[in-house]
């Protein structure tokens, strides 16, 4: 009955207190420490340790961030849990402080002590205002009444006092604000004893008021609990509750139910029915005595403290299960089936349920199912678990106004029941068998054979049910009596179906798995807290609640496993308390709270509607939502970018940086340039320039590089565009800056050989200048260079001169490539031609007439590009005055001289170099500054007239690639070369962590899935993928027959005794099976059977190889045990015979005749399999062996192998750990679900807990114990 919600281990707990609004509990310990826990998430928030000695009581203030404590150090302390410190201490008690409590309205604290007094303190002025005397022994408890002006105290003098402090309260309110008068008026007689309750024979340990009734409960050392009624000045004993065998340490009334909870030093806690005065539940601890009880003031929680910690309980589940049918909601409240009309929020009772169990409890059904397959009646099925374990069928007429129409029928011994047809119910019995229950009362058992044991049953589509079995969820077909689909999902708790039964949501403690109706997984979400309830929206959305939030999830194939912080999920709002979602209609959330009240609440669904509209590609609706202006922030902008809707976000964003990023993402270079001019940062212009070059907006790229003075990029840009005149001006700029590298590079790009030679001379590179002049046969420059060489005393050897002359004869002129268009030929740099599209659909919907800075050519930038290189050159001439300085290699005069020399003037004679003008574009001898064509460089960029509007067709990919992109079969993605997606699927489906063995298999499948067809001469071949007959999926390269051939190789090697080769073959078979494709369900089952068989053979091979390993030192007993373990493996009868024969021979040689006799008996049991058909004489021979071994009847060596029991085991997997190759100590015959094991999520190989997280030794691929969806190999299209 009790539900354990949170538990701690610590020293003895003496005090407990729940926070009234936060999920916190204070725990005071006997060692002087106070702990603060968040019981919702199970963490220690803080701890406080100023007390010296045990802390016997703690209490939260209702509204302030305060709590008070009292202990054996005789002090009452007041703490601030936000500041994490003790604010002050109240001193006055001269013995242990037993209990402290804040007043619910006034700034008072009540404390009681072993000094036989009760004190009332004003914690605001830190003074005592009343001392209550009258008890003649330790005062064990003192509590304020929750509403009246009363205090209840209990003492070891066997008495209970009720004190009236009305006069004290009146004086406090009268003199509020005047502390001096207030102190003078407190005479000590303002509190008087109103009632005295006597009846206990021994000391009373605790007494408490009922929260709403005039009742008192007390517990004493006489082992009794007494109930008292108080009326005015009278108080009398009502009843006595007996049952505890030792001192009753604490009692407490439940705030909502007629229940009393008590605990005792007899190590028990009891729950009492106040109406029947009887104990309905007892919790017993083996060694711990109970000391304290605390009730939550607003919820169903209560806590108990004992010697080794404390536990928080709930008496029963607070969930109200329900079923929504259109705008109607069926649910159960106070054992009555209710119907709520969600349109007008009216409720109508339908049936008083005949529920068994504790009458004082609500006895809510665990699940409530509605029969969607019956259109003539309203059929509701209620499933009860726990002590009752039954189902109630309620049949109601369509006319729901008449409650008398309801007919109830009980289904006994039911662990769960669901509707499967109009008048059929599938029942899961206590024996875990399935029955069909007809409405007329007839039952029929379903006979089906499976390795799964159903534990829970849930609603599914017509004729089917969902079954939970260990870590599997099965879709079971009633008519076919077989499992049609299954999926891995741990700890399934609840199932929610979409209105059209197309999707299903599987709930565990904190996970949600959304699947299709065939259990094909779509997305898996894990939340940090418990998920409580959920419902589907008609728009492919799923809304669910957690402990403290209402959240949503947009169902899309893009959503993958992860937390709820994915792009397609979010939060509607936070909730104060858990709620249970019943439906979502037109922006309204319908839910049931823990009080059983159906509520409707409007929530802000703007973000949810936006994501739904984007998912469905409804752009009109997206724009309408954004125009409301209710969404803002970077999260929405980022979401639109990731959904390839940056152009939409651009229309609503105002920040220049964000607009720039959005414009680049959407390819809107015009808008990007407009925002870059506002930001004016180097990195922004660099990004813009790169994107402009990629998209062919050459004028934007030019302006971007000009703005940040990126001369290297400009030089390269002009060279590629053939703008030789602008390239000349880049040369002049480089000379003004005295940047020799740029001067040299520009001279190379211009093809100006003389300038290169002169620059080499200026740079003291005489040898390079001489070699360059000789190579280009500059006869007029060679003598000048030779004179310079002689003046500097440089000697040129004859060998060097000869080699230079010889190489110069073979040299070719290094000139830049000729541009296709040359500026001097009348061509001006323009943007690449862009096909003009129709006006953006988005802008059309926004009804905006402005063009927002279109930039299709130079004039579209919004400014004349007249400044260009000329003004840039002037600017840099001014800057160069500061940058060059005296320390430079060349001063300003030299620079001017060099600039003149490079024009072909000065001391250098003209060269007679034979270069076509077409190549150089009349570069040599041009007067740059006097060229009239270069006055305004940007006027050369002509405005481009808009061509005829054209809408180009969209490019389409191979339809097969589009179909496979949504496939959940890893082999399909491998076939088309999408290895990344295949590995991602394998990680989710089988827990893959070691993909290395699959590398060769990937290559094998991919190469065999493609064909190359010859095309036209001198054209490449045409690649295509092999595909199935319907053309919807790739051909399955690895199928059942392929795997059988590998399996046969291992089978043959086993027969030959080549165990190493056999082991490799069977492991190869399992690894290839990972990427297999089954065309039918039957083939899928056969492949899974083949995998199971491979596991057994791999185990057998590993055991035998371990036994034969000479590097291992094994005892005789271990050697015999390994041989016997091999014989347990499920193999072909011929191999089973060989394994048994080998084990029998070894046992005979080891003089273990009893074990040998059992093995001989097992060999004879193989006769029905036909293993002796070729040699029938072996039967007689082994009968003789059996008789001889029985005659001996002794075992020399004790083995941990009992053949008589182990011969009944069908498979070694589950009996033997696949890692250690030793049997599990706790294995029980026929039970694989033993404690301390973990599984391989792919092969199902079972290991001990020590192997958790390691690589599976069977498949060498997966992580042991990982959670996975399950391998998907069935091609449903083929089926």
Given the DSSP bridges, would you call strands 562-563 and 521-526 parallel, antiparallel or unpaired? Answer: parallel
- The pLDDT score that the predictor gives to residue 96 is 95
* 252 & 338 share domain: no
- The pLDDT score that the predictor gives to residue 930 is 36
**Helices and strands (H and E) in the chain: how many:** 33, 60
Q: Copy the structure tokens of residue 224.
A: 């009794």
- The pLDDT score that the predictor gives to residue 603 is 87
Exposed, middle or buried, 1191 (CB in 10 Å: 0-12/13-18/19+)? Answer: exposed
Q: Copy the structure tokens of residue 1008.
A: 């065999």
Phi and psi of 494, rounded to 5°?
-145, 160
Mean pLDDT, to the nearest integer, of 442-462?
83
Within a domain: residue 298? no
The answer, yes or no, to whether residue 866 has pLDDT greater than 60, is no
- The pLDDT score that the predictor gives to residue 953 is 54
C-alpha dist (Å) from residue 638 to 614, 635, 643, 662: 14, 5, 9, 9
CA-closest candidate to residue 356, choices 333, 335, 377, 342:
335
CATH number at residue 425: 2.130.10.10
- The pLDDT score that the predictor gives to residue 867 is 42
Query: Do residues 436 and 479 touch, judged by C-beta distance below 8 A?
Result: no
Burial track 949-959 (b if 16+ CB lie within 10 A, e otherwise): eeeeeeeeeee
* 70 & 174 share domain: yes
Q: What percent of the chain has pLDDT over 90?
A: 27
Query: Do residues 32 and 25 touch, judged by C-beta distance below 8 A?
Result: no
- The pLDDT score that the predictor gives to residue 936 is 39
* 530 & 585 share domain: yes
Residue 796 pLDDT level (bands cut at 50, 70, 90): low
Averaged pLDDT score across all residues of the chain: 80
* 455 & 572 share domain: no
- The pLDDT score that the predictor gives to residue 1210 is 73
Which residue reads 């070694």 in tokens?
1212
Residue that is last in its domain, among 479, 512, 538: 479
Within a domain: residue 790? yes
Least confident of 298-312, 503-517, 702-716, 958-972: 958-972
For 111-127, the DSSP string reads: EEETTSEEEEEETTTTE
The answer, yes or no, to whether residue 860 has pLDDT greater than 80, is no
Within a domain: residue 682? no
Residue 187's domain comprises 29-285
Residue 718 pLDDT level (bands cut at 50, 70, 90): confident
CA distance 943 to 831: 10
* 518 & 475 share domain: no
C-alpha dist (Å) from residue 373 to 34, 392, 462, 538, 897: 58, 18, 7, 20, 100
What's 690-708 look like in SS3? HHHHHHCCHHHHHHHHHHC
CA distance 166 to 150: 8
Most confident of 23-32, 703-712, 718-727: 23-32
Residue 753 pLDDT level (bands cut at 50, 70, 90): confident
Query: Do residues 870 and 934 touch, judged by C-beta distance below 8 A?
Result: yes
Render pLDDT for 1143-1171 as a digit per residue (tens, 0 to 9).
Answer: 899 888 888 888 888 888 888 888 888 88
Render pLDDT for 656-674 as a digit per residue (tens, 0 to 9).
Answer: 888 888 888 777 888 888 8
Most confident of 121-135, 321-335, 564-578: 121-135
Which has more pLDDT, 940 or 1232? Answer: 1232
Render pLDDT for 399-428 as a digit per residue (tens, 0 to 9).
Answer: 766 555 788 888 888 889 999 988 899 999
Which has more pLDDT, 782 or 835? Answer: 782
Q: Copy the structure tokens of residue 456.
A: 């829970």
* 497 & 463 share domain: no
The answer, yes or no, to whether residue 183 has pLDDT greater than 60, is no
The single-letter DSSP state of residue 1053 is H
Least confident of 242-246, 638-642, 948-952, 1242-1246: 948-952
Mean pLDDT, to the nearest integer, of 888-914?
34
Which residue reads 């964000």 in tokens?
658
Least confident of 547-556, 772-781, 1037-1046, 1238-1247: 772-781
- The pLDDT score that the predictor gives to residue 567 is 65
Least confident of 294-303, 1066-1075, 1185-1194: 1185-1194
Within a domain: residue 643? no
Mean pLDDT, to the nearest integer, of 836-861?
42
Q: Copy the structure tokens of residue 154.
A: 């209990």
CA distance 252 to 216: 10
- The pLDDT score that the predictor gives to residue 899 is 31
Residue that is last in its domain, among 479, 499, 521: 479
Within a domain: residue 899? yes
- The pLDDT score that the predictor gives to residue 879 is 42
Least confident of 307-321, 675-689, 733-747, 835-849: 835-849
CA distance 1031 to 1278: 10
- The pLDDT score that the predictor gives to residue 941 is 33
Q: What order of strands is seen across the sheet that includes strand 541-546?
A: 531-537, 541-546, 549-554, 569-574
What's 286-339 look like in SS3? CCCCEEEEEECCCCCEEEEEECCEEEEEECCCCCCCEEEECCEEEEEECCEEEE
What's 1093-1152 look like in SS3? HHHHHHHHHHHHHHHHCCCCCCCHHHHHHHHHHHHHCCCCHHHHHHHHHHHHHHHHHCCE
Which has more pLDDT, 772 or 92? Answer: 92
* 1055 & 1001 share domain: yes
- The pLDDT score that the predictor gives to residue 1205 is 63
CA-closest candidate to residue 60, choices 313, 294, 304:
294
Within a domain: residue 947? no
Query: Do residues 320 and 332 touch, judged by C-beta distance below 8 A?
Result: yes
What angle separates helix 698-707 from helix 868-884, to the nearest 10 degrees?
20
- The pLDDT score that the predictor gives to residue 265 is 94
* 506 & 427 share domain: no
- The pLDDT score that the predictor gives to residue 1018 is 66
Dihedral sign from CA coordinates of 951, 952, 953, 956? negative
Residue 243 pLDDT level (bands cut at 50, 70, 90): very high
* 49 & 163 share domain: yes
Mean pLDDT, to the nearest integer, of 9-18?
94
Within a domain: residue 134? yes
Q: Copy the structure tokens of residue 1279.
A: 């089926």
Which has more pLDDT, 1093 or 528? Answer: 1093
For 1142-1191, the DSSP string reads: HHHHHHHHTTBHHHHHHHHHHHHTTGGGTTTSS-THHHHHHHHHHHHHHH
Render pLDDT for 49-87 as a digit per residue (tens, 0 to 9).
Answer: 989 999 999 999 999 999 999 999 999 999 999 999 999
Residue that is last in its domain, among 414, 447, 479: 479
* 340 & 473 share domain: yes
CA distance 162 to 726: 104
The single-letter DSSP state of residue 831 is P
Q: What percent of the chain has pLDDT over 70?
A: 80
* 1059 & 1100 share domain: yes
How many domains is the chain partitioned into structurally?
Answer: 5
* 251 & 362 share domain: no
Which has more pLDDT, 861 or 1094? Answer: 1094
Within a domain: residue 297? no
CA distance 6 to 23: 11
C-alpha dist (Å) from residue 1079 to 20, 969, 1088, 1242: 60, 12, 14, 20
Q: Copy the structure tokens of residue 650.
A: 């651009």
- The pLDDT score that the predictor gives to residue 922 is 35
Which neighbouring-strand residues pair with 1023? 1012
């Amino acid at each position: 009955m009790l539900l354990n919600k949170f538990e701690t281990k610590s020293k003895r707990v003496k005090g407990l207190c729940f926070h009234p609004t936060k999920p916190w509990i204070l725990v005071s310990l006997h060692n002087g420490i106070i702990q603060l826990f968040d019981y919702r998430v199970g963490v220690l928030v803080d701890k406080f340790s100023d007390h010296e000695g045990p802390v016997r009581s703690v209490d939260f203030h209702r509204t302030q961030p305060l709590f008070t404590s009292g202990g054996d150090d005789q002090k009452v302390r007041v703490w601030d849990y936000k500041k994490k410190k003790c604010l002050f201490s109240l001193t006055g008690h001269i013995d242990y402080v037993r209990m402290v409590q804040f007043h619910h309205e006034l700034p008072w604290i009540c404390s009681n002590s072993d000094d036989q007094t009760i004190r009332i303190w004003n914690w605001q002025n830190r003074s005592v205002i009343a001392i209550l005397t009258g008890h003649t022994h330790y005062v064990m408890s003192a509590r304020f009444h929750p509403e009246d002006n009363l205090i209840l105290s209990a003492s070891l003098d066997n008495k209970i006092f009720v004190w009236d402090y009305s006069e004290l309260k009146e004086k406090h309110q009268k003199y509020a604000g005047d502390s001096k008068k207030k102190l003078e008026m407190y005479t000590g007689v303002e509190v008087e004893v109103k009632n005295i309750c006597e009846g206990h024979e021994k000391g009373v340990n605790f007494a408490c008021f009922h929260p709403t009734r005039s009742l008192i409960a007390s517990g004493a050392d006489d082992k009794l609990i007494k109930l008292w009624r108080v009326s005015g000045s009278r108080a009398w004993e009502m009843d006595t509750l007996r049952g505890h065998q030792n001192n009753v340490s604490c009692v407490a009334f439940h705030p909502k139910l007629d229940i009393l909870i008590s605990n005792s030093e007899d190590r028990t806690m009891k729950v009492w029915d106040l109406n029947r005065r009887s104990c309905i539940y007892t919790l017993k601890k083996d060694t711990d005595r109970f000391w304290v009880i605390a009730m939550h003031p607003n919820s169903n929680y209560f806590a108990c403290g004992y010697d080794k910690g404390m536990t928080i309980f709930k008496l029963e589940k607070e969930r109200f299960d329900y079923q929504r049918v259109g705008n109607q909601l069926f649910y159960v409240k106070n054992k009555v089936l209710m119907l709520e009309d969600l349109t007008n929020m009216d409720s109508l009772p339908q049936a008083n349920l005949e529920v068994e169990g504790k009458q004082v409890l609500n006895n809510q059904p665990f699940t409530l199912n509605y029969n969607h397959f019956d259109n003539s009646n309203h059929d509701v099925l209620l499933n009860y678990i726990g002590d009752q374990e039954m189902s109630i069928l309620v049949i109601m007429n369509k006319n729901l106004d008449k409650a008398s129409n309801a007919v109830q029928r009980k289904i006994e011994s039911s662990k769960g029941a669901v509707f499967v047809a109009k008048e059929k119910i599938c029942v899961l019995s206590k024996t875990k068998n399935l029955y069909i229950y007809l409405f007329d009362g007839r039952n029929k058992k379903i006979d089906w054979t499976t390795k799964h044991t159903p534990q829970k049953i849930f609603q599914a589509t017509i004729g089917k049910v969902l079954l939970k079995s260990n870590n599997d969820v099965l879709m079971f077909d009633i008519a076919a009596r077989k499992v049609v689909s299954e999926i891995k999902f741990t700890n399934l708790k609840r199932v929610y179906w979409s209105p059209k039964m197309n999707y299903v949501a599987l709930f565990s403690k904190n996970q949600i798995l959304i699947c299709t109706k065939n259990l094909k997984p779509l997305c898996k979400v894990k939340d940090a807290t418990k998920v409580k309830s959920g419902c589907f929206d008609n728009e492919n959305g799923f809304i669910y609640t957690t402990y403290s939030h209402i959240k949503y999830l947009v169902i899309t194939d893009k959503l993958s496993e992860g937390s709820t912080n994915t792009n397609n999920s979010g939060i509607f709002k936070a909730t104060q308390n858990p709620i249970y979602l019943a439906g979502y209609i037109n922006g309204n959330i319908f839910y049931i709270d823990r009080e059983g009240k159906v509520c409707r609440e409007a929530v802000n669904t703007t973000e949810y509607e936006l994501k739904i509209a984007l998912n469905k590609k409804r752009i009109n609706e997206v724009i309408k939502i954004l125009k409301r202006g209710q969404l803002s922030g970077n999260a929405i902008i980022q979401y639109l970018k990731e959904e390839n809707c940056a152009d939409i976000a651009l229309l609503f964003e105002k920040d220049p940086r964000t607009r720039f990023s959005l414009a680049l993402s959407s390819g809107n270079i015009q808008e990007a340039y407009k925002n870059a001019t506002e930001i004016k940062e180097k990195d922004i212009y660099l990004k813009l320039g790169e994107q402009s070059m990629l998209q062919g907006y050459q004028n934007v790229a030019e302006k971007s590089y000009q703005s940040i003075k990126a001369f290297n990029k400009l030089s390269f840009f002009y060279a590629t565009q053939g703008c030789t005149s602008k390239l000349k001006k880049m040369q002049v700029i480089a000379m003004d800056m005295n940047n020799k590298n740029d001067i040299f590079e520009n001279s190379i790009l211009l093809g100006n050989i003389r300038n290169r030679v002169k620059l080499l001379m200026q740079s003291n590179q005489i040898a390079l200048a001489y070699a360059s002049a000789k190579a280009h046969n500059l006869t007029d420059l060679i003598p000048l260079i030779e004179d310079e060489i002689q003046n500097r005393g440089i000697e040129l050897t004859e060998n060097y001169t000869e080699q230079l002359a010889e190489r110069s004869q073979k040299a070719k002129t290094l000139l830049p490539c000729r541009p296709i268009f040359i500026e001097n030929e009348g061509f001006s740099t323009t943007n690449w031609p862009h096909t003009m599209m129709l006006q953006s659909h988005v802008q059309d919907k926004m009804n905006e007439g402005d063009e927002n800075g279109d930039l299709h050519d130079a004039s579209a930038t919004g400014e004349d590009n007249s400044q260009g290189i000329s003004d840039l050159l002037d600017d840099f001439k001014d800057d160069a005055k500061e940058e060059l300085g005296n320390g430079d290699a060349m001063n300003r005069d030299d620079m001017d001289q060099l600039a003149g020399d490079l024009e072909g003037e000065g001391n250098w004679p003209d060269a007679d170099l034979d270069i076509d003008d077409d190549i150089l574009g009349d570069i040599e001898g041009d007067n740059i500054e006097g060229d009239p064509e270069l006055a305004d460089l940007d006027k050369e960029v002509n405005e481009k007239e808009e061509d005829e509007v054209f809408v180009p067709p969209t490019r389409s990919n191979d339809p097969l690639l589009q179909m496979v992109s949504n496939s959940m079969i890893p082999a399909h993605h491998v076939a088309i070369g999408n290895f990344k997606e295949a590995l991602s699927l394998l990680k989710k489906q089988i827990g893959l962590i070691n993909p290395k063995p699959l590398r060769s298999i990937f290559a094998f499948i991919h190469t065999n899935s493609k064909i190359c067809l010859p095309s036209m001469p001198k054209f490449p071949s045409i690649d295509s993928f092999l595909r199935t007959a319907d053309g919807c999926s790739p051909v399955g390269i690895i199928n059942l027959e392929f795997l059988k051939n590998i399996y046969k190789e291992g089978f043959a090697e086993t027969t030959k005794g080549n165990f190493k080769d056999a082991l490799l073959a069977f492991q190869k078979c399992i690894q290839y099976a990972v990427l297999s494709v089954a065309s039918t369900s039957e083939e899928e089952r056969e492949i899974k059977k083949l995998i199971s068989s491979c596991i057994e053979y791999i185990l057998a091979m590993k055991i035998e190889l371990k036994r034969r390993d000479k590097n291992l030192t094994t005892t005789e007993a271990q050697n015999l045990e390994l041989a016997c373990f091999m014989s347990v493996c499920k193999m072909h009868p011929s191999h089973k015979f060989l394994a048994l024969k080998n084990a029998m021979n070894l046992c005979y040689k080891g003089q273990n005749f009893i074990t040998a006799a059992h093995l001989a008996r097992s060999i004879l049991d193989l006769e029905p399999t036909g293993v002796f058909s070729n040699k029938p004489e072996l039967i007689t021979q082994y009968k003789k062996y059996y008789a001889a071994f029985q005659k001996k009847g002794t075992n020399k060596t004790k083995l941990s192998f009992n053949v008589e029991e182990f011969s009944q085991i069908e498979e070694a997997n589950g009996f033997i750990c696949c890692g250690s190759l030793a049997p599990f100590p706790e294995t029980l015959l026929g039970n694989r679900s033993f404690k301390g094991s973990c599984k391989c999520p792919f092969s199902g190989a079972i290991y001990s807990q020590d192997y958790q997280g390691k690589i599976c030794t069977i498949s060498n691929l997966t992580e042991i114990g990982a959670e996975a969806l399950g391998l998907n190999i069935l091609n449903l299209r083929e089926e």
